[in-house]
Every structure is written in structure tokens, then in C-alpha cells.
Structure 1
């Protein structure tokens, strides 16, 4: 829904988008382009959390001489910035394939610059692998990383608004005297962090979605700045908040589950390590 609301035409609001997708594509329309993200989410999340933790430990070692020292707000912010930069290298091709698969049935108007040989509204890609291979053959490596600047501008502040609020909210709602936050605290803090992060990310997420969807049938945008200017000139400031509701609603449960799973797995592995090496 988020991609179609941001880069599509004629969907209006979230409810109309749901009804339109279901009427035209049935239930399968809601799961288009998900095989690539599902196959890569484990690697992607491992890199994100691993880089964040490693950077924090490195900064604590550098500043305090102890990698286990509590990180400062500045350390968490810097670690989040590093995560945002590195995540783009992995995330951009995955996001591109997902967006292209979801938008290939989107009807385009004749005003949308020149059309490719494939008729708008018909399927261009047969699946995730075919989509990736086709983009690579026709557009090369730059094509696979289309929208990477917009994604960088989305993820760098986005991860700052992800990890920092999580840590702050955990500290805030953890009872005094507790060694570590309980599972409910982790779940709630992760959900709040996810909602806040996606609220911050949405304007550049709109730009990223439009740049990556641009190329299924047409070439409308020359780059990130051109996409921002054209979107603003044609639809006003409100265009950059398309999909905000969907993003924040989705962000809460997905991030809550992500942080809870990460923290519980970390505790379990630390427990096994202490039993193995007492």
C-alpha cells in the first residue's frame, strides 16, 4: 500500500487504495514483490544491528577504554549514522525490485513522458529474479542502485530516529533498580521507535519510491532533486506525506517484534556463553 500511495496514481486515501488493489489484483496484490525482502531480511537486519552494536562498542572503547561502557547520546547518534550509510548498499537493490514488482500493474497516463514498448498496466517482470536480472541487463549497476541518494537521505536520519528513541524510551519506562528492561518494555520501546522513525522517513521515502518506480514504463525524473521539484510543483507539499499513516501503523508492530527478537536472542546467547565458559 505504501509504495502505491506514494508513487501510484488514482488511489486517493488508504482505504481506497486497499479496495482498488483487492478489486483489481485480489489478495495476491498485497504480497507482490515480497519474496526478495523476505529472503534478505535476515541478512539486512543482522548487518543493521551488528554494525550499530559494533560501532557503539568501538566508540566506548575509544572514549572510555571499555567496550562495555554505557554509550552516550552522541555515540548512539554516530552509530546510527554509520548504520544508515551502510544499509543503503544492501537495501537499495532490494527496495528497487520490490517497488518495480508492485508498480508494474500501475496504469500510467500519456502525459508521463515517453512510454517503453511494454503497454502500461501489463506485467513487465515475471518475478524477483527476473526483475533484478532485467534491470541489471538494461540499466547496469547504476540502475540497480537507482534511488540510492534518496534512500541515503531517508535512512541516515531514519536510523537516528530509530535507535536513539528506542534507547531513551527503554530507560524512561524501565523501573528503577532493574538491571535490564523487561520484554514488554522492549516491545513498547521498539514499537514507538519504529513509528517515530517512519514518521521522520516518510518525505524522503516518497521520493525514493517515485525514483525507483520511475523506469517500469517511463522515465520522468532525472534525479533526486528533480523528483522533489516535480512532485512539489505538481502536487504541493502534501505529496511528501503520502503513506504516512500506513508507514507509522506498520512501523510499530514490525519494529516492536524486531527489537524484542534481537534483545531476547542476545540475552539467550549471552546465557549460553556464560554456561559454556563460566
Structure 2
């Protein structure tokens, strides 16, 4: 049982890495749209990023999440799987008993709560690096004409410098800016993630099969991702704005203030900004994540059985 617990974390890391590689370009577009930088619609945002920053602009800030988000997903999948088995053991006396809906919901909420501890700083740094399209001086002072000396100066030179700067300026609490919004996004969000995946896998998989096929995992994971990210969009907008805020100036005092200002300035539609990108990127990203997780988990368990 102990090795299986560790296997879930390892497989979650592999799945998380696969998801970052597949989903980061659209994640960059989503972040730019939600932060309210005047990109307009999704198509205009894609064109603007490409024209100003070329193809590499879509992968800005990817090195940090490739490592850190993989660890983050390792924790999420590891916690979810172990909590689910613990609940099954307590309720049914068998850790491998098929979980009920309430069991999946409880395990999902616990995983969502745990995710913020690691995911808060990870997403903060990722978003800060993705948003570096203005010079420090121009953004800070809202100048129409940038001084030549500051034409290429940015707030952060990379993820390590970003973390160091935030710690120096705001302390440890600065790395968790937007974490309340993230908690409000992830606790229900993971319910709409793991529950649809579990039931869709069972529905797609033929009765005679002992485990779902790679296609079943891919399809169920993709649909679950689209559902989860689509429903999480309103709070994801608030989280992204809070985490993007503070690079140059602090515009929002907290979640309520961010919701209030965003609504007053841009109306109700602002909370659905990036909905299309979220739903679209949610499918391939989550499909890759679940497929990487399930295939890695099977390989690890097969190896454990071969070499007891």
C-alpha cells in the first residue's frame, strides 16, 4: 500500500509535466485576456502576442511551471488518490472499493485545498512572468513616451529573481497574493474535475474491460478538463487579476475589491473573459494530464509486480 501511495505522486508529476507542455501557449493567452490589458477578443490577443513577441511569446514563463506545476499536480493527484482510498477503507473496509459521489466530492475538495499551498506561489510567478510586456517605468507612471534607458527594463529577470523580489518587497505573504480566490476556484473546481472524469471513464469503458483504455482516459480527461475550467472561469479571472496586479502598482485590495472594481468598470461579462480559451485549452491539457498520470501509474505498478 505504501508504494502505491508514492506511485500516485510520481504519476501525477508526469501528468502535470505533459499538461504544461500542451497547455502553456493557450494559458498565456488566457492570462493576458483576463488581466485586462486591452487585447479585446481571443483572436486579437493571439495575433498581438505573435506580432509583438513572435512564437516564443506564447511560451513565456514556461520553464518555471514545467518544473513547479508538475510538482503541484503531483500533490493534487497524490492527495486525491490517497484520500479517496482512505475514505473507501473507512466506509467500506476496502481501499479499492468503488467510491460513491460524496466520497469523490470530499476527496476532490481536500485536494483542491491542498493545491493552494503549492499552487498559489507557482501560479503567481507564472502570471507575473507572462505579463511582462511593458517596461517598469512606463507601466508604473503610465507614460506615453518611454525613456530610452528603460526601453528594455522589466520587473523580473526570471523565476528566481521574481520570487526573490516578491519576498524582499512583500515577504512570504506576497507569494500567496490571490490565494483566497484560488481556494474559491479550486475547491469546487476539482469536484468538477475528478467527478466527471471518474464517471465518464466508467461510462466509456466496456463492461468486460478491467481498466479504461488510453482512448477512454484521454476522452474522459479532456471532457472533465473542459467542464472544470469552464465553470471555474469567473473566479479564475479574479485570481489572475489579483496575481497580475502588484508587478508595478497595487490596484486591488482583495477578492471583494477586485470583483467590485472589475464589475463597475467592465460589467458582468468581465467574469467570463477567457471562458472560450479556458474550455478549449482545458480539453487537451487535461487529456494529456490524465493520460500521462494513468499510463505512468500502470507502468510503475507493473514494474512493482515484476520486481517485488
**Is the aligned partner of 1:151 residue 2:179?**
no
1:189 corresponds to which residue?
220
Deviation for aligned residue 1:2 = 0.7
Describe the superposition over 1:8-38 as per-residue Cα deviations: whole angstroms up to 9, x where unpaired.
Answer: 3210001111111122222222111212101
Correspondence for 2:124 among 89, 96, 100? 96
2:159 counterpart (128, 131, 155): 128
Do 1:92 and 1:151's aligned partners in 2 also have CA atoms closer than 8 Å? Answer: yes
Q: Which residue of 2 aligns with 1:228?
A: 259
1:166 counterpart residue number: 197
Q: Summarize the alignment of residues 1-278 of structure 1 with structure 2, pairs less than 5 Å apart.
A: 1-106=29-134, 108=139, 122-277=153-308
Question: Structure 1: any 5+ residue segments left out of the alignment?
Answer: 112-117
The answer as to whether partners of 2:222 and 2:282 remain within 8 angstroms in 1 is: yes
Contact persistence 1:105–1:122 (CA under 8 A): no
TM-score (norm 2): 0.84
Larger RCO (CA under 8 A, 6+ residues apart): 2
Distance in 2 separating the partners of 1:121 and 1:250: 31
Aligned partners of 1:232 and 1:239 also within 8 Å: yes
Q: SS where residue 184 of structure 1 aligns?
A: helix
* Distance across 1 between alignment mates of 2:265 and 2:62: 30
Q: How many residues align?
A: 271
Residues 157 and 200, structure 1, Cα contact 8 Å, conserved in 2: no
| RMSD over equivalenced CA pairs, Å | 1.8
Name the counterpart of 1:114: none
Cα pair 1:105 1:121 within 8 Å, conserved = no
Contact 1:202 1:242 in 2 (8 A): yes
Question: How many angstroms apart in 2 are the aligned matches of 1:121 and 1:207?
Answer: 29
Determine if contact 1:158/1:197 at 8 Å carries over to the other structure: yes
Aligned residue in 2 for 1:115: none
Whole-Å separation in 1 of the counterparts to 2:305 and 2:132: 52
Encode CA deviations 1:89-115: one digit per residue, 9 max, x unaligned. Answer: 00111111111112132475978xxxx
Q: d(CA) in 2 for partners of 1:235 and 1:120?
A: 30
| TM, length-normalised to structure 1 | 0.93
CA change 1:146–1:158 in 2 (3 A) is same
CA contact (8 A) 1:104 1:121 kept: no
Give the deviation of 1:119 after TM superposition: 7.2
